[in-house]
Amino acid sequence: MAFFAMRSMSSKNPRQRLRDIVDNVDAIRAFMAGMDRDDFAADQKTIYAVVRALEIVSEATRRIPAEMRDRHPGIDWIAVAAAGNVYRHEYEGVDADLIWHTAKFGLEALRDAAVDELEGGDPK
The 10s digit of each residue's pLDDT in 81-111 is 998 888 887 766 678 899 999 999 999 999 9
pLDDT tens for 4-26 read: 444 444 567 999 999 999 999 99
Residue 22 to residue 9: CA distance in whole angstroms: 17
Nearest to 51 by CA among 110, 4, 92: 92
**How many helices and strands, by DSSP H and E, does the chain display?**
7, 0
Full-model pTM: 0.85
At 93 the pLDDT is 67
pLDDT above 90 for 122: no
pLDDT above 90 for 37: yes
| Neighbour count for residue 85 (Cβ, 10 Å) | 12
CA 54 to chain centre: 4
